[in-house]
């Protein structure tokens, strides 16, 4: 099915919230990784989210261009074309746009959507993320509101972040951040709900000890009760119907029990990147090690075209990544929940 529009995306999120599951949001950086995500969602019978970061966009544009916005546009157009061949629903999202990249990444993508809308075409992306979490809360919210206004005008959802996800992602390192910054306060959640939520529907990445990067199971110490307390504070301040749509970042190494607990508190989207990167790369390494002599022209030999053809190992990476995403769909309880053509 085509990439979802605003109303369809809201329907997806409502379905997740009411039935206490979350959509895997898969970071992509190439046609192969897009194909893996679409294949996985189809085989799991799950709707899902495909997202591109500033670094992913820059990589996709190639060494000769090096433009995060141009690369993101190319990936989005590819997704629109291929998603139409599948019977599940997909939302297109951008991930972690920090303040310094708003002018060079986020706003050009919204401008591209404006051009498409003027031409009678669907939005390029379904939603965008602005990550102003490193700023003082008032500055974060002020800039979030400015971007929210542009999103509302163009039928786009905005995701924002309060509190800081630790670790390193896409070259953005927060490992030295003070521990108390890793936890969103109930007051932060209420402020976001009042200021940004009054303008329209949005997603909130509230932090509760989550960390970007690679960690062994049990090494990430999550406190999901922070989300519960925050939602309770929002309900008390704004009413029972004001519950926030929450996003879980930095889930690698998280215990499944803790992940399931967050679903009880309104998490409807969970970002998955580190684990799928490994799942894509692992079969490629296996292929090279098993076909070393064929991959390389050693001692005057010619190698074996069948094994050094990128298609021979690229499809193995696609399959490996797809299998990991299917597992994520089951872990997040989205498997079997696709709205299909009923959206």
The full set of domain ranges for the chain reads 6-342
Can you tell me the distance from the alpha carbon of 86 to that of 67, in angstroms, rounded to the nearest whole number?
29
pLDDT tens, 36-52? 999 999 999 999 999 99
| 304 vs 296: CA distance, rounded Å | 8
Residues 6+ apart with CB under 8 A from 305: none
How far apart are the C-alpha atoms of 150 and 143, rounded to whole Å?
Answer: 11
CATH fold for the domain made of 6-342 = TIM Barrel (3.20.20)
Catalytically active residues are 95
Whole-number average pLDDT of the chain: 92
Full-model pTM: 0.92
pLDDT of amino acid 250 = 79
Mean pLDDT check: name the lowest of 170-174, 218-222, 272-276, 336-340.
Answer: 170-174
Residue 58 has which token pair? 């820059």
Question: Is residue 143 classed exposed, middle or buried when 0-12, 13-18 and 19+ CB atoms within 10 A define those classes?
Answer: middle
Give the three-state DSSP class for 192: helix
Would you say 247 and 205 are in contact if contact means Cβ atoms under 8 Å apart?
yes
Residue 224 confidence class, pLDDT cut points 50, 70, 90:
very high
pLDDT value, residue 163: 74
Geometric angle at alpha carbon 141, from 240 and 264, rounded to 5°: 35
DSSP 106: I
Bridge partners (DSSP) listed for residue 216:
none
What angle (nearest 5°) sits at the alpha carbon of residue 137, between those of residues 22 and 55? Answer: 55
> How large is the angle between the packed helices 186-195 and 137-153, nearest 10 degrees?
30
End-to-end distance of the chain based on CA atoms, in angstroms?
10
Query: Could you read off the pLDDT of 9-40 as tens digits, one per residue?
Result: 999 999 999 999 999 999 999 999 999 999 99
Q: What is the mean pLDDT of residues 250-278?
A: 92
Q: What is the mean pLDDT of residues 79-93?
A: 98
């Amino acid at each position: 099915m085509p990439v979802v529009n605003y109303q369809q995306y809201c329907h997806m999120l409502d379905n997740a919230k009411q039935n206490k599951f979350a959509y895997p949001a898969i970071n992509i950086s190439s046609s192969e990784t897009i194909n893996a995500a679409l294949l996985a969602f189809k085989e799991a019978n799950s709707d899902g989210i495909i997202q591109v970061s500033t670094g992913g966009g820059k990589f996709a544009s190639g060494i000769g261009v090096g433009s995060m916005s141009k690369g993101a546009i190319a990936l989005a157009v590819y997704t629109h074309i291929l998603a139409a061949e599948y019977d599940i629903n997909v939302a297109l999202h951008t991930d972690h746009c920090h303040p310094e990249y708003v002018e060079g990444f986020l706003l050009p993508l919204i401008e591209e959507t404006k051009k498409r809308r003027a031409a009678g075409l669907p939005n390029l992306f379904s939603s965008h993320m602005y990550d102003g979490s490193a700023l003082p809360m008032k500055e974060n919210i002020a800039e979030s509101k400015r971007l929210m206004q542009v999103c509302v005008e163009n039928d786009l959802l905005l995701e924002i972040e309060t509190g800081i996800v630790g670790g390193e992602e896409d070259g953005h390192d927060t490992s030295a951040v003070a521990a108390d910054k890793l936890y969103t306060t109930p007051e932060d959640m209420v402020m976001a709900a009042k200021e940004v939520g009054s303008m329209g529907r949005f997603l909130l990445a509230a932090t509760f000890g989550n960390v970007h990067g690679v960690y062994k199971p049990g090494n990430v110490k999550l406190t999901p009760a922070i989300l519960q307390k925050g939602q309770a504070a929002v309900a008390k301040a704004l009413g029972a119907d004001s519950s926030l749509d929450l996003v879980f970042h930095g889930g690698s190494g998280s215990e499944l029990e803790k992940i399931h607990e967050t679903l009880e508190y309104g998490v409807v989207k969970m970002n998955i990147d580190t684990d799928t990167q490994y799942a894509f790369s692992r079969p490629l390494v296996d292929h090279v090690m098993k076909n070393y002599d064929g991959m390389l022209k050693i001692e005057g030999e010619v190698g074996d075209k069948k094994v050094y053809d990128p298609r021979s190992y690229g499809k193995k990476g696609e399959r490996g990544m797809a299998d990991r995403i299917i597992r994520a769909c089951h872990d997040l309880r989205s498997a079997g929940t696709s709205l299909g053509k009923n959206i």
